[in-house]
Amino acid sequence: MYKVLILGCGNIGALYDFDNDEILTHAKAFNQYKVDLYLFDIDENLVRKVANKYKAKVVPVIDNINFGDFDIISICTPTFTHKKYLEKALLNNVKVIICEKPISTDSDEIDHLINAYEKSNSKVIVNYFRRFQPAYLSLRNSIEEILKQEELTNISIRTQRGFINNSSHAFDLIQYLFNKPLELKNILVHNREKDHFDTDPTLSLQALWDEVNLSLQGLSNVYFSFFEIDVFFTHQRISIQNAGKDIFYYQSEDSFQFLKPLFKVESLNKTDCIKDYMQHVIEYSISLINESSNLEDNFLEAVKLNKSMLTILNNR
Ligand X SMILES: NC(=O)c1ccc[n+]([C@@H]2O[C@H](COP(=O)([O-])OP(=O)(O)OC[C@H]3O[C@@H](n4cnc5c(N)ncnc54)[C@H](O)[C@@H]3O)[C@@H](O)[C@H]2O)c1
The residues of the shown chain that bind ligand X, judged by CB under 6 A, are 7-13, 40-43, 46, 76-79, 81, 100-101, 127, 129, 165
Task: Quote the least distance from Cβ 145 to ligand X, whole Å.
Answer: 29
CB of 79 to ligand X, least distance (A): 4
Q: How far is the CB of 73 from ligand X (least distance, A)?
A: 12
Taking the complex as a whole, how short is the minimal distance between the CB of residue 199 and ligand X, in angstroms? 13
The count of other CB atoms within 10 Å of the CB of residue 208 is 14
Nearer to ligand X, 40 or 233 (CB): 40
Task: Supply the DSSP string of the chain, one letter for each residue.
Answer: -EEEEEE--SIIIIITTTTSS---SHHHHHHTS-EEEEEE-S-HHHHHHHHHHHTPEEPS-STT--GGG-SEEEE-S-GGGHHHHHHHHHHTT-SEEEEPSPS-S-HHHHHHHHHHHHH---EEEE--GGGGSHHHHHHHHHHHHHHHHS-EEEEEEEEES-IIIIIHHHHHHHHHHHTS---EEEEEEEEEE-SS-SSS-EEEEEEEETTEEEEEEEETT--S--EEEEEEESSEEEEEEGGGTEEEEEE--B-SSSBPPPEE-GGG-B--TTTTHHHHHHHHHHHHHSTTS-----HHHHHHHHHHHHHHHH--
Nearest distance in Å: CB 2, ligand X: 21
Q: How far is the CB of 233 from ligand X (least distance, A)?
A: 28
In the bound state with ligand X, the residue whose beta carbon lies nearer, of 103 and 184, is 103
Decide whether 81 or 252 has the Cβ nearer to ligand X.
81
Cβ-based nearer residue to ligand X, 10 or 241: 10
Nearer to ligand X (CB atom), residue 10 or residue 137 = 10
- Smaller CB distance to ligand X: residue 95 or 161? 161
Residue with nearest beta carbon to ligand X: 10
